[in-house]
Amino acid sequence: MPKVIENVGCPYCGCSCDDVRVTVSDDGKKVLEVENVCAIGTEIFKHGSSDHRIRSPRLRQPDGSMKDITYDEAIEWVAQHLYKAKKPLMYGFGSTNCEGQAAAARVMETAGGMLDNCATICHGPSFLAIFDNGYPTCTLGEVKNRADVIVYWGSNPAHAHPRHMSRYSIFPRGFFTGKGQKKRTIIVIDPRYTDTANVADYHLQIKQGHDYELFDAFRMVVIGHGKDLPDEVAGIKKEKILEVAEIMANARFGTTFFGMGLTHSDGRNHNIDIAISLTRDLNKVAKWTIMAMRGHYNIAGPGVVWSWTFGFPYCLDLTKKDHAHMNPGETSSVDMAMRDEVDMFINIGTDAGAHFPIPAVKQLKKHPWVTIDPSINMASEISDLHIPVCICGVDVGGIVYRMDNVPIQFRKVIDNQGLLDDETLLNRIADRLDELNAQGA
C-alpha cells in the first residue's frame, strides 16, 4: 500500500513550506505523488526517487572519465587532500541541513581552511548592511496576521519564491487581516515589469542600478523634506514618490521584502543599508519591518549555525585554527578564486560550476575539486571527485532555517538506499582528519 506522509518540508526556496503531502511507494523507495507544492518543489521530490540518481562516489580518471569508488575511498581521498592543502575552501550549503553545516564547520576547523556559503554571492551584501545597521524584522506570520502594506523591492517572488505571496504576504487572511488581499496595498519596485509587479497596486519601474537614490528620496519624504525632491528620482516621478511614501508612512504594519535586485547591483550592501535606514525612519511614524528574500530553503542555516560556532555568518577564514577571521572581499569565495588563493575546492550542496562567473570557475579548477551534491550538475561534471549524498527533506530529515530564521524541522520521506547524508559523511571526514593530524603531530 502506498503511504501518505504529511507536513513534509520542501527543500527548494526560502519559503521552506512545511505543508507538503507526499505519497510514497509501499517499499518506501519511490515518491509517487506530491501535493501542496509549487512546480519547482515537485521536481525535487521526483528527482529524489529518479532511477538516474547517482548512488556511488565517482573519481575522475586520467583519461577524463569518471569511475565509481566506495564511500570509504572517497572519504580517504578528501581527508588526504584536505590534510595536504594549505588553504582549502569549502563552499555551498544551499541545500544542506543544519546538522551537515555544523559538521562542515568541524571539518574546516580541523583542516584549517576557508568556509563560505552561497550567501557570499546572494545576500552577503545584506549581511554587510546588517553588520552596520542592524535588522528590524519579524517572522512571516506577523506579515500574514498584521501587514497592510507590502513592498517587494528587487525581488520577484512569482518566480523565485512561488508560494511566498499566497502563504505569507499578499493573499492570506490572518488574525488582523481577515480581508486578505482586499485590505493590503502591494508596492513592487523593479526595473522589469515582473509577474509580481503584475499583481501589485503600484509598480515603480525604477531605473536599474539607481535604487539607492530612490530609497534616499523616500527617506526625505518620511523625515519631512518631500517638497525638496527633484521632479524625478531614479526614473520615478516626484508625485508618485510622495504618494507611495504616504502609503508607507500610514501603514499599520508594513514589510519590505528585498532581493537580489539590490544585492547584485551597483551599491550592493549600501542599497540594503539604506533600506534598513528607511525602515528605522518609518518606525518613527508607523510600524515597519524588513526581510531578505533568502533564496534557498536553508541558506539562512549556515549563517545561523556558524554564528553560534564562530561568531561570523560567512566568509570564514579558519586557517589560524585557534581563531576565526572574516573579511568579505578578502575571505569571500569569488574574490579568493579570482586571486587564485585557494589550493583545493569543495563544492557542497550547490553548483559553483553553473552559478559562479566562468572566470572564477576556471581559476578554482586549477586545483583539486570535490563536489558533494545529490545531483549531476556543472560542478560535479568538472570535479575530480563527486560524492552523492541524501537530499534533505527527501531521504534525510533535519533542521532548516526559513528566510525569517524560523527553524523548520524537515522529515525524511523515502529510504536513503545506501546514500550517506552530509552530516555522516562530513563527520567521517573530520574523524579521519583528526587521525591524520594526530599522526602528524
Residues 220-239 that bind another protein (CB under 8 A): none
Among 22, 31, 115, 128, binds another protein (CB under 8 A): 128
Q: Which stretch binds another protein (CB under 8 A): 141-149, 221-229, 237-245, 342-350?
A: 141-149
Asked if residues 193 and 199 have their Cβ atoms less than 8 Å apart, the reply is no
- The answer to the question of residue 1 lying near another protein (CB under 8 A) is no
Interacting residues with another protein between 257 and 296 (CB under 8 A): 260-261, 263-266, 268-269, 280, 283, 286-287, 289, 295
Interacting residues with another protein between 374 and 433 (CB under 8 A): 375-378, 381-382, 397, 399, 401, 405-409
Angle, nearest 10°, between helix axes 269-282 and 124-133? 50
Interacting residues with another protein between 37 and 56 (CB under 8 A): 38-40, 43-44, 47, 52
Asked if residues 394 and 5 have their Cβ atoms less than 8 Å apart, the reply is no
Q: Please state the closest distance from residue 117 (CB atom) to another protein, in A.
A: 11
Rounded CA separation 154/156 (Å): 7
Interacting residues with another protein between 315 and 344 (CB under 8 A): 315, 318, 320-326, 328-329, 332-335, 337-338
Q: Please state the closest distance from residue 320 (CB atom) to another protein, in A.
A: 6
Rounded CA separation 74/429 (Å): 9
* DSSP state letter for 390: P
- The answer to the question of residue 180 lying near another protein (CB under 8 A) is no
Half-sphere exposure of residue 21, counting CA atoms within 13 Å on the CB side? Answer: 6
CB atoms within 10 A of CB 182: 8
x/- letters, 64..103, toward another protein (CB under 8 A): x---------------------------------x---x-
Q: Which stretch binds another protein (CB under 8 A): 68-76, 212-220, 357-365, 418-426?
A: 357-365
Rounded CA separation 134/149 (Å): 22
Q: Please state the closest distance from residue 25 (CB atom) to another protein, in A.
A: 20
Among 1, 175, 231, 439, binds another protein (CB under 8 A): 175
In the numeric block, which cell numbers belong to residue 200? Answer: 501589485
Rounded CA separation 406/16 (Å): 10
Torsion over CA of 327, 331, 335 and 336, rounded to 10 degrees?
160
x/- letters, 291..310, toward another protein (CB under 8 A): ----x-------xxx-xxxx
- The answer to the question of residue 166 lying near another protein (CB under 8 A) is no
Residue whose CB is less far from another protein, 43 or 76:
43
Residue whose CB is less far from another protein, 27 or 61:
61
Among 31, 142, 204, 294, binds another protein (CB under 8 A): 142
3-state secondary structure 20-64: EEEEECCCCCCEEEEECCCHHHHHHHHHHCCCCCCCCCEEECCCC
In the numeric block, which cell numbers belong to residue 297? Answer: 530553503
- The answer to the question of residue 117 lying near another protein (CB under 8 A) is no
Rounded CA separation 288/179 (Å): 20
